[in-house]
Chain A
Amino acid sequence: MMRCRTAAMVFFLLRTAVMAGGSNEWPAVFTVPVKPDTAVDSAKLRLSSDAKVFKNTEKTSSRLEWAPLSSLWRMRQRSVVTTRNEGGENAMNQVYDFSGSVIRDSVFPKGGSLGLEWSPVINLELRDHTPGGVTATNDFGTVMQWRTHDIPLRFRGGISGSGWNYNLPARLLDNKYEYFHGDAGFYGAFSAGDPTVRLLGRPLYVTTEAFVRAVRMVGIAAINGSALLAHRLGSGDSLFAYYGDSLSNGKERYWGSPGGQRQYTYAPWRVARSFQATGGLKFRESRLRPALVYSYAENAVTFPNLDKPNDRRVMLQSIHLLGEAKSTLPVVYKGGIKIWWGAEEWLFKSDRLRSVADTFNLGPASTREDTLTKDSLTVKLSDHQIYRAATDHAVSIALPKGMALEYTLGIFRNSRTYTFCFSPDSVRNYNDDDAITLNHQGRFKLPRFRAIEAEAFGAYSVNITNYLKKEDGRSSENRTEDGYLLGLDCSYRPSERFSLSERITAEADIIDYFYKQSHLNDPPPYKRRFSSLCRGTWKMTDHWELHGRWDENYNDYGVWYGHEYLDTARADSLGTDYYAIMNKATTYSVELSLARVRDRYRLESGCRLSDVFARSYRENAYVIDVEEQGYVIEPFLEFTVQYRRFSLRGRVVRLVNTLASDNRAFKKNWDIHVAGQASW
Chain B
Amino acid sequence: MVRSMRQRGIYKWRIAFAAALLQLLVSCGIFTPRDSEAPEPGVMIDPFNFAAILENTNENFTSLRYEDLFMESDTVYLDVNYGRSSTTALLQRLHQILIQYPRIQVQWTTGTVWKNSGNDTMVLSGLKYYIFSDSTTGGPPGDSGSSNFTAVIYNRNWVVSLWTDIPSRAGRSFFDL
Chain A positions within 8 Å of B, measured between CB atoms, are 283, 286-290, 321, 323, 335, 337, 339, 389, 391, 411, 413, 415, 434, 436, 438, 464, 466-470, 472-478, 514-515, 517-522, 525, 527, 557, 567, 570, 582-583, 616-620, 625, 627
Cross-chain contact of A470 among B38, B105, B110 (Cβ < 8 A):
B38
Tell me if B17 and A323 are in contact (CB < 8 A).
yes
Closest partner residue, chain B, to A236 (CB atom):
B10
List residues of chain B with CB within 8 A of the CB of A570.
Answer: 135
Q: Is the pair A616, B109 in contact by a Cβ cutoff of 8 Å?
A: yes
- Bound complex: CA of A478 vs CA of B46, how far in Å? 13
With a cutoff of 8 Å between Cβ atoms, the chain A residues found around residue B110 in the complex are 557, 583
Contact string against A for B residues 34-50, beta-carbon threshold 8 Å, 1 for contact and 0 otherwise:
11111111011111010
What 1/0 flags go to B13-50 for Cβ under 8 Å of A?
01101100100110000110111111111011111010
Closest to B39 in A: A476
Is B115 an interface position by the 8 A CB rule?
no
Residues of B within 8 A of A625 (CB): 109
Q: Which 3 A-B pairs have the closest CB atoms?
A: A476-B39, A470-B37, A434-B33
Q: Are A522 and B45 in contact (CB under 8 A)?
A: yes
Q: Can you list 29 A-B pairs with a CB-CB distance of less than 8 A?
A: A283-B14, A286-B10, A286-B14, A287-B11, A321-B17, A323-B21, A389-B30, A391-B31, A413-B30, A413-B31, A434-B33, A470-B43, A472-B65, A475-B37, A475-B39, A476-B45, A477-B45, A478-B36, A514-B36, A515-B39, A517-B39, A521-B105, A522-B46, A557-B52, A567-B103, A616-B128, A619-B140, A619-B141, A620-B139
CB neighbours of A517 from chain B (8 A): 39, 41
Q: Which of A286, A391, A469 contacts B37 (CB 8 A)?
A: A469
With a CB–CB cut-off of 8 A, which chain B residues contact A475? 36-39
Could you tell me if A522 and B139 are in contact, using CB atoms closer than 8 angstroms? no
- CB-defined contacts of B39 to chain A, threshold 8 Å: 470, 473, 475-476, 515, 517-518
Is residue B88 within 8 Å, beta carbon to beta carbon, of the partner chain?
Answer: no
Number of A-B contacts (CB under 8 A): 129
Say whether B51 contacts A321, CB under 8 Å: no
How many angstroms between the C-alpha atoms of A517 and B130 in the bound complex? 24
The answer on a CB contact under 8 Å between B31 and A389 is: yes
Q: State the CA gap A519–B34 with chains docked (Å).
A: 22
Given contacts A391-B25, A436-B31, A466-B36, contact A557 B18 (CB under 8 A): no
- Give the complex CA separation of A520 and B36 in angstroms: 20
**Closest residue on chain A to residue B37 by CB atoms:** A470
Closest to A413 in B: B31
B145 at the interface (CB under 8 A from A): no
B55 at the interface (CB under 8 A from A): yes
Shortest Cβ distance from residue B75 to the other chain A in the assembled complex, whole angstroms: 17
CB contacts under 8 Å to A, within B92-151, are: 103, 105, 107, 109-110, 126, 128, 130, 135, 137-141
Given known pairs A477-B64, A522-B45, A522-B46, the reply for A619 and B14 (CB within 8 Å) is no
B55 near A557 with CB under 8 A, answer yes
Q: How far is the CA of A582 from the CA of B141 in the complex (A)?
A: 14
Complex formed: what's the CA distance from A299 to B95 in Å? Answer: 41
In contact, A470 and B40 (Cβ under 8 angstroms): yes
Asked if residues A464 and B33 are in contact (CB atoms below 8 Å), the reply is yes
With a CB–CB cut-off of 8 A, which chain B residues contact A469? 36-37
Contact of B14 among A288, A339, A557 (CB under 8 A): A288
Report B157 CB to chain A, min CB distance, Å. Answer: 11
Encode contact with A along B59-70: 1 for CB under 8 Å, 0 otherwise. 000011101000
Within 8 Å by CB of B45, from A323, A339, A434, A518, lies A518
* CA gap between A477 and B33 in the complex, in Å: 15
Check A468–B36 contact: CB distance below 8 A: yes
Most A-side CB within 10 Å, residue of B18, B105, B140, B141: B18
| Cβ-closest chain A residue relative to B52 | A525
Minimal Cβ-Cβ distance residue in A for B60? A481
- Complex: A337 Cα to B130 Cα, angstroms: 48
Partner of B135, one of A286, A521, A619: A521
**With A337-B24, A477-B64 given, is the CB distance from A468 to B140 under 8 Å?**
no
A522 and B49 within 8 A (CB): yes
Task: List the A residue with the shortest CB-CB distance to B64.
Answer: A477
